[in-house]
Structure 1
Amino acid sequence: MKIQTKFHGEQEIVKEEIIKFDHGIPGFLDEKEFYIFPLEDTPFLILQSINTKEVAFIIADPFSLFPDYEFDLSEDVIEALKIEAEKDVAVFVILTVREPFNQTTANLQAPVIINQNKKLGKQHILNDSNYSIRHFIIKPPTAQKQEVK
């Protein structure tokens, strides 16, 4: 099956690898089928809509960017995604890429949860969270102390 993509032009995809988002993604409720592509020469991926080439999100593994990131999945999410084992779950966060790149942020408040086995996905909004929608992925350098002469 061939699709048009935002970043890679026309691409051949494996139909069985399409991830279904039953309720879409907030802001894109009509977009219910996505495919994940690597973003060449980066640790990031692209979550590409199957139907609308302009709808593509740069995503990343939050645990590699933020080692202390953690949250619990609600029973509703576990049930909706038919999760049977922890190993079936992949978690990503959507990035907002900015220029300069050190201004790029990650949405830690609404991770994308994917059941890799069943190919089901959902953007899950964390309630009662200390996380925000704009966490810098590159920490700014600490201010250096000025030498006293």
Structure 2
Amino acid sequence: MNNLIIETLSWGKLEVDKEQLYHFPKGIPGFDEETDFALIAMAETSFWYLQSVKSMGLSFLLGDPFVFYPAYEFELPDDEAEELQIRTDVFVRCIITLKENIEQSTINLLAPIVLNPEVHSGKQIVLHKAPYHTKHSLLQELSVIDGKEGG
């Protein structure tokens, strides 16, 4: 069977393809028991949901960090690459915290979610020697691009 029906808070019952399923052997920090997630793309956006397969109330909004911060870069430590069995393909997404006032929404560049689409494994990796933090403005870079910086 290729598809799985999962329960979600936002969309009710959702059918996901096995290609969307990722295993996080160590869970996600703060959610160590949650090891299986579905990666759900939001059509025509730079956003995804990482939905727990087990707990319908647990999902994370993810964004493509390179869309918001084109200069974003980090070196994946060898032991992390080995643990995720990364050879060539890798997806990097970051957790977004949406605020009621959209201008206060943030993206966590310090602890990206690294996904290996070949073996469907994933891990949130904390970058210890990076100049990033957990609450970068989601709109700061975009306003610079749009020429709206400084009002």
Identity of aligned residues (%): 36
The Cα shift of 1:41 comes to 5.8
Q: Write the deviation string for residues 11-55 of structure 1: whole angstroms up to 9, x where unpaired.
A: 011234310000000010000000011235642110000000111
SS in 2 for 1:35: strand
Matches within 5 A, 1:25-104: 25-40=28-43, 42-85=45-88, 88-104=89-105
2:128 corresponds in structure 1 to 127
Partners of 2:24 and 2:40 in 1: CA distance: 17
Matching residue within 131, 138, 143 for 2:150: 143
Q: Which moved more, 1:3-12 or 1:65-74?
A: 3-12
SS in 2 for 1:24: coil
**Structure 2 residue identity aligned to 1:6:** L
Q: Is the 8 A contact 2:46 2:67 kept in 1?
A: no
Higher-Rg member (1/2): 1
SS in 2 for 1:46: strand
Where does the alignment leave 5 or more consecutive residues of structure 1 unmatched? 145-149
Number of residue-to-residue matches in the alignment:
142
SS in 2 for 1:93: strand
